[in-house]
Amino acid sequence: MTELSALLSALAAGVVLGTMYFGGLWWTVGRGIGSPFAARWFLLSLLARTGGAMIGFYLVGRGSWQRLLVCLLGFIIARHIVTRFTADATARPRSSGSAKHAP
């Protein structure tokens, strides 16, 4: 039963890591597009998100390929969850009249 709880916690950690990674990506794109320093936004976000995910995978794996694989599964599940939530948020038409580009 201890191994099952370790795998379930690895799955939960993968979901948290994936949510932070892909949620951070969505947030960065939203902030970076209108910024005059878009390259800085994207570069710093890439470094922070990738570094955080790598450290998280390293800590969760702890030498066990099974925990690492389950963590990756949670990461992929989080990708689908974040994609679904952000697609709903971007599908709504914006009623703001301050568009910075042509329709």
For 62, left (φ over 0), alpha (ψ -120 to 50), or beta?
left
Helix 2-33 vs helix 38-61: angle between axes, to the nearest 10 degrees? 180
Give pLDDT, residue 87.
Answer: 86
Give pLDDT, residue 92.
Answer: 62
Give pLDDT, residue 63.
Answer: 87
Residues of the chain with pLDDT under 50: none
Give pLDDT, residue 70.
Answer: 97
Give pLDDT, residue 57.
Answer: 97
